[in-house]
Structure 1
Amino acid sequence: MQSPVNASGKQTPKRAYDARRRRQLADEALHTVRARARELFLAKGFGATTIAEIARAAGVSPETVYKNFGGKPGLVRAIYEESLLGAGGAPAEQRSDLAQLTTNDPAALMEQLGRFTTEVSPLGAPVFLLIRDAAAGGDAAMAALLAEVDDARYRRMLHNARQLVGRGLLRAGLDDTEAADVMFTCTAAELYETLVLKRGWSAERYGTFIARTLAANLL
């Protein structure tokens, strides 16, 4: 299809923003799907929430949800992965890596890691607990997702530990496996559940506790 011709008889370029605008609208629609799905899943639980409800709340068709997420387990995976980005501009994982590579004061680094926990846990922990509870209820897809996200979190903590051990920022004699275990424990959603959801701690108090716990066990 040719571009339209203007009054001078020259072809005018097809409006370049069309494709970008369509992509932007599609991304916004998928963001809305994830947001509405998160609200419904956390309010009603995994089993009681339907794709039809999510689609209706997001203003899209059920087919759009299935096409982009493949069903409820894929949608929960997408929500969980989005939560790990944190609330800052750059993904929290990137900012964490940068801090670990550039901060030379171990105590200051533990404080930074505590702040990342303050940022990410309120977003990610409730979704992890949703996955855990659905898996405990017998949903095979969610059990597989639970194993996958737990393994990914451990591998991430081992990556962190190896960076810190390699830079000589941790206590002498502490190997990367033990350091990873400490970090894995401190980032467990169950710990957030105990102190924040059950005991009523603020996210800030929780982050400070994590920073002090990391420092006490790693430095």
Structure 2
Amino acid sequence: MPRPYDSSIRIERARRTRASIVETARDLLLHGGYSAMTVATLAAAAGVSPQTVYNSVGNKAAVVKVVYDQMMAGDDAAVTMSDRPEFQAIFEAGDRPAFANAYAGWVRLLAERAGPLLGALLAHGTDATLLEFTATIEQERYVGTARAITGMRDRIGLPEHHADENGLPWLIDAVWTLNSPDCYDRLVRRRGWSPTEYETWLAGQLIALLD
């Protein structure tokens, strides 16, 4: 009688191949820049065929997005950022200043994780693929900001000067602007601030908005 087919070995092999491709892509992007990483150079560096890259991850745009997502998350688990314990812990704050400090720490964490990659990518901002990538992550960041501020409103409440119908959208827009990767890049990479100084500055700006 034939033995039943065990797909777990094939699945694990595919997972390892994908992980190796993504790790190699991250190294190429960080050290060689966006233009240096093509599907062909990635495949050669990872020791696989270009078709394997396409089958495991996708085209160059897909590879960049996966690298970014994993650097932001700190792992490859299929858990959205807003469902992660670090994000949920922000809402343990008992008042708006405490929320501002906790949120600033969260933004700093994400910026430290993905900042080096974004710095390497943004230098090639006229590339059509990168423009699409930037638009995607900006929208994702806006959704995340909206969840954070809406969650704060539901648990703690908004300050009186943001209590009208325009207050919440205005506040989300303002926080979305403050937590932008460009702010982190300008202050930390270009001006030489430490991540701690950036976090302190961001918390102060948020407290001024929220309290």
TM-score by length of 2: 0.82
- Tell me if 1:98 matches 2:88: yes
1:22-61 → structure 2 map (5 Å cutoff): 22-61=10-49
Residue 70 (str. 1) matches residue 62 (str. 2): no
Bigger Cα displacement from structure 2, 118-127 vs 68-77: 118-127
Structure 1: give runs of 5+ residues left out of the alignment.
4-13
Specify which structure has the bigger relative contact order, considering alpha-carbon pairs within 8 angstroms and separated by 6 or more residues: 2
Residue of structure 2 equivalent to 1:167 = 155
- 1:48 deviation in Å? 2.6
Q: 1:11-48 CA distances to partner (integer Å, 9 max, x unpaired)?
A: xxx59xx5334323322322221122112112222223
In our comparison, the structure showing a higher alpha carbon Rg is 1
Residue 191 of structure 1, CA deviation: 0.9
List runs of 5+ in structure 2 lacking aligned partners: none
Q: Provide the residue aligned with 1:82 in structure 2.
A: 70
Output the amino acid matched with 1:103. A
Shift of 1:207: 2.2
Q: Post-superposition shift, 1:101?
A: 4.1
Which of 187, 203, 208 pairs up with 2:179? Answer: 187
Q: Using structure 1 for the length normalisation, give the TM-score.
A: 0.79
Q: Which range moves more in the overlay, 99-108 or 36-45?
A: 99-108
Count of aligned positions: 205
Distance 2:81 2:59 in 1: 27
Deviation of 1:71 (Å): 1.5
CA RMSD between the two structures: 2.7
% same residue: 26
| Cα distance in 2 for residues equivalent to 1:183 and 1:69 | 33
The counterpart of 1:127, out of the listed 117, 121, 126, is: 117
Higher mean displacement: 89-98 or 169-178: 89-98
- Is 1:156 equivalent to 2:144 in the alignment? yes
Q: Which residue of 2 aligns with 1:20?
A: 8
CA separation in 1, counterparts of 2:151 and 2:59?
Answer: 37
Give the C-alpha shift of residue 99 in structure 1. 2.6
Q: Does the CA contact (< 8 Å) of 2:21 and 2:43 recur in 1?
A: yes
Deviation at 1:76, TM superposition (A): 0.5
Would the aligned equivalents of 1:92 and 1:116 in 2 still touch at CA under 8 Å? Answer: no
Aligned counterparts of 1:179 and 1:38: Cα–Cα separation in 2: 34
Give the C-alpha shift of residue 56 in structure 1: 2.5
User: Match of 2:103?
Assistant: 113
